[in-house]
Amino acid sequence: MAKPSNPQGTRDFGPQVMRKREFILDTIRTVFKKYGFEPIETPALELLDTLEGKYGEEGNKLLYKIRSNREIVNEVSEEKALELKSLFPERWIPGNSKLGLRYDLTIPFARFVVQHRNNITFPFRRSQVQQVWRGDRPAKGRFREFTQCDADCIGSTSLLNEADLVQIYNEAFTNLGLPNAVLKVNHRKFLEALVDELDLDFPVSRFTSTLDKLDKIGEEGVMKELVSYGLDEAKCKQMFSIIGNAELNKANLETFATAFNNNDIAQKAIDDLSMLLSFLEGYHLNIRVELDLSLARGLDYYTGCIFEAIVPESGIGSVSGGGRYDDLTGVFGLKDVSGVGISFGVDRIYEILEAQNGWLENLNDNASVLLCHFDVATQMYATKVARTLRDKGLSAMVYPDQKRINKQFDFANKIGVKFVVVVGEDEMKTGKLTVKNLEKGEQMSCEVSAIEQYITE
């Protein structure tokens, strides 16, 4: 029999890993809730019509399509069906695929908004934490199945929403122990202004998807690709003299305005980012916020501010991204509903914290109390004690088998339990139980009512 294994780009998570992942998820969820975002969930499966054509050329290639359960011979004429059966008598050939696994949480959210618009009060703030799937080539920090944490506000054009998202970034990364994170900010209008200044004669989306590869293939690679589309090399050099990155502040915005010769399209970006800075006035940011004109994110639906967060020197790319989309719901029939959102990549954040050993000390602890016993009678008594502890909000479990006490202690050590409660005949008679701290090698005798105080001190 073949050794069982995971599909490439997917992983199993044991209890120790899950404690760390839950720390990340709980931290982000808490910040989302603090800013008034309400949780929703959508199905893992979406109609292909919902997904296709929403992520650009590159994204469409990575969509996971679900094989149809209906055979193709049921979808063609009888003559064609007989021909197929004669050519492939042993083959079961599926029909047209109509379903796909969700690629991200934003497009399903847009579908959700349109489908449930009569039950939603706008502006609507939504948070969503679920799995997504992409047929990508697995690499460090890049998986085919991974978890995203999204926060979106839809039904409002106010830059106050972008300001809240910047604050969410700051608080989430600070609370995760990553205050060295850098939030890169750009604006779609800066990219359009570049197209205008360079007088390009090919689609903006092609230009942005190429520019988005700058950190992977460098200036030379981007220039080579743009030249292949017909852009003059001198204009490429002109572009690289304009784009760059600097701290997002009003002085640097004025510098970029000069670099663009006060281009009207670029001015819209400058006005928006100036308003964003006004909303953030007086708010202390631990993370660095940079204006990066090369940031494109490679997705066609961004229309205003664009965000991308990285952790420098981590060896991993972006850990979060997002931006403003003015008419994402329009593809589903609901026009002119603007929104803005961001998405945290939990798996990449995990990889960084793991490499830096940046976890809280108690994350490896098993918070349960293990009740140990000597025979059936003491085990039965232990179940009553466990019930009392659970009623007090503690996690408690009784060792299920009849084994020597040292074997029960071995089990406690292996699963990371810090406290054990020993129930013997004397404990049953007196009502005073022996509580052992396995980490410190200490123990005390106390009544059930005092156990909670002892183990939470």
Q: What is the CATH number of the domain that holds 442?
A: 3.40.50.800
Position 57 in a domain: no
Which of 303, 330, 356 terminates a domain? The answer is: 356
Q: Which of 345, 294, 302, 305 is nearest to 54 (CA)?
A: 302
Count of the separate structural domains present in the chain: 3
Q: In 3D, which of 352, 323, 308 has the Cα closest to residue 215?
A: 308
Instruction: Please say which residue of 356, 389, 407 terminates a domain.
Output: 356
CA 27-303-181 angle, 5° bins: 30
Cβ-in-10-Å burial (0-12, 13-18, 19+) of 45 comes to middle
Q: Are residues 275 and 392 in the same domain?
A: no
Contact 88, 58 (CB under 8 A): no
Higher pLDDT, 384 or 227: 384
Residue 5 lies in a domain: no
Element of type H or E holding 161: helix 160-175
Query: 351 falls in which pLDDT band (50, 70, 90)?
Result: very high
Q: Are residues 376 and 268 in the same domain?
A: no
Which amino acid appears at position 96 of this protein? N
Q: 300 and 234, same structural domain?
A: yes
Whole-number pLDDT of residue 210? 79
| C-alpha distances in Å from residue 313, one per residue of 141, 316, 351, 453 | 14, 8, 13, 43
Asked if 300 and 317 count as a contact pair (C-beta separation under 8 A), the reply is no
Residue 36 banded pLDDT, cuts 50, 70, 90: very high
Top pLDDT among 216 and 396 is at 396
CATH code for position 322: 3.30.930.10
Of 5-14, 77-86, 172-181, minimum mean pLDDT range: 77-86
For residue 445, pLDDT over 60 is answered with yes
In this structure, which amino acid lies at residue 31?
Answer: V
Please tell me the distance from the alpha carbon of residue 234 to that of residue 383, in angstroms, as a whole number: 79
Among 188, 29, 38, CA closest to 122: 38
Task: Check pLDDT > 90 for residue 148.
Answer: yes
Whether pLDDT at 78 is above 60: yes
84 falls in which pLDDT band (50, 70, 90)? low
Domain end point (choices 324, 356, 388): 356
- Whether residues 256 and 375 fall in one domain: no
| Structural domain containing residue 448 | 365-456
- Which of these, 390, 348, 187, 341, lies nearest to 269 by C-alpha position? 187
Do you find a cis peptide bond into 179, omega within 30 degrees of 0?
no
Mean pLDDT of 12-39: 96
User: Position of tokens 């501010």?
Assistant: 305
**pLDDT of residue 82 exceeding 80:** no
Q: Are residues 127 and 82 in the same domain?
A: no
For residues 313 and 374, membership in a common domain is answered with no
- Name the CA radius of gyration of the chain, rounded: 28
Tokens of 127: 């948070």
pLDDT computed for residue 209 by the predictor? 75
The winner for highest mean pLDDT among 23-32, 75-84, 87-96 is: 23-32
- Share the mean pLDDT of the chain: 88
3-state secondary structure of 256: helix
Asked whether residue 294 falls in the same domain as residue 349, the answer is yes
Task: Report yes or no on 83 lying in a domain.
Answer: yes
pLDDT band at residue 81 using 50, 70 and 90 as cut-offs: low
pLDDT of residue 122 exceeding 60:
yes
pLDDT of residue 183: 97
Closest CA to 155 of 115, 110, 202, 101: 110
Give the predicted TM-score (pTM) of the model.
0.85
Residue 209 located in a structural domain: yes
Whether 170 and 311 map to the same domain: the answer is: yes
Per-residue pLDDT band at 342 (split at 50, 70, 90): very high
| HSE (side-chain half, CA atoms, 13 Å) at 64 | 16
Which has the higher per-residue pLDDT, 321 or 90? 321
Query: Is 330 inside any structural domain?
Result: yes
- Dump pLDDT digits (tens) for 357-409: 888 877 767 778 999 999 999 999 999 999 999 999 899 999 999 999 999 99
10 is a domain residue: no
Average the pLDDT over each of 128-132, 192-196, 205-209 and give the range with the smallest value: 205-209
Q: How confident is the model at residue 287 (pLDDT cuts 50, 70, 90)?
A: very high
Q: Give yes or no: residues 40 and 151 share one domain.
A: yes
Asked if residue 380 is part of any domain, the answer here is yes
121 plus 161 within the same structural domain: yes
Better pLDDT: 41 or 296: 41
Shared domain for 412 and 285, answered yes or no, is no
Residue 7 belongs to some domain of the structure: no
- The verdict on 84 and 175 lying in the same domain is no
Instruction: Report the run of H or E that residue 48 belongs to, with start and end.
Output: helix 48-51
Whether residue 302 is predicted with pLDDT greater than 90 in this model: the reply is no
